[in-house]
Amino acid sequence: MFRTVRVVVIALLAALAPLATSAAPAAAAPCTALGTGTVPGGYAVTIYCNGPGYINGYGSTLSDANDAAYATYDIYVRSGVSCYNRGEGAIVGGYAVTGYCNPTGNMQSYGTTLTDASAETRGLADLYLTTHRACNGTGAGSQAGSYSVRLFCTGGVGYVNGVGATLTAAARAARLAATTA
């Protein structure tokens, strides 16, 4: 009986071995952390990755900024589209982060926190990857207890607006409007 169990275990391991090797992540270009710094609303992390080059990540915490840099790098890994963040700044109700992707150009979006603004900018990159519509924030503001965000998108979409109780909600609403336009 032990011999039968042993043979079955060996056969099972032999059958599963190819699955274990095929489940390994695809080879990705290595990245090196280059530096950190403080910016209005949080932190910036700069990494260098073979392929896309220098990438900045912005976030409300140092961990969020690091995650944002690697999430931006993930866009390159998934699609071959090279993106990086060009800058950030404080605005009424939150923050703006400007990214740049080749071939879409500038993409600015907004959020209540720096982490949210960074995520929304990556959301615009993902929007381009799925719809081929390049969108860029053209303005954000507050009005009577709510916030509004305006994007201009290519692909025959033009201007779209989003309104929400927070700047992040307004940015998400505008991005959704661009997705469904």
Residue 127 falls within a domain, yes or no?
yes
170-179 pLDDT tens trace: 999 999 999 9
Residue 105 falls within a domain, yes or no?
yes
Q: Where are the alpha helices (DSSP H) in the chain?
A: 2-22, 62-79, 114-131, 167-180
Show Cβ contacts of residue 168 under 8 Å, excluding neighbours closer than 6 positions: 94, 110, 111, 112, 113, 116, 117, 120
138-174 pLDDT tens trace: 999 998 889 999 999 999 999 999 999 999 999 999 9
91-124 pLDDT tens trace: 999 999 999 998 889 999 999 999 999 999 999 9
Domain that holds residue 95: 23-180
Number of structural domains, the chain? Answer: 1
**Predicted pLDDT at 127:** 95
Residue 175 falls within a domain, yes or no?
yes
Residue 58 falls within a domain, yes or no?
yes
Q: What is the rounded CA–CA span in Å between residue 126 and residue 50?
A: 21
**Predicted pLDDT at 86:** 87
| Dihedral in degrees, nearest 10, Cα atoms 72, 148, 40, 128 | 10
